[in-house]
Amino acid sequence: MPATQFDAAATAHHTPTDRDRAVDAARLAALVVVMFGHCALLLATIDSHGVRIANLRS
């Protein structure tokens, strides 16, 4: 089994100094948008009345 402990100092040391953090922020924002989009699509249902957004347990 691979090691699951991460050393933040070692990771920071190996990160290039010219890394663009704005790109990291854009990637994070895109990931959050995709996650919320998938959640919204899981809750959307289409029936004879159109698209409905509802709780799956209702």
Per-residue pLDDT tens digits for 28-43: 999 999 998 888 777 7
Q: What is the total count of domains within the chain?
A: 1
Both tokens of 46, joined, read 């289409």
Q: Are 42 and 53 in contact (CB under 8 A)?
A: no
Q: Are 54 and 45 in contact (CB under 8 A)?
A: yes
Would residue 3 count as lying in a domain?
no
Would residue 28 count as lying in a domain?
yes
Domain containing 39 equals: 9-53
Would residue 26 count as lying in a domain?
yes
Would residue 58 count as lying in a domain?
no
Q: What is the pLDDT of residues 47-58, one digit of tens each?
A: 888 888 776 565
Would residue 14 count as lying in a domain?
yes
Would residue 4 count as lying in a domain?
no
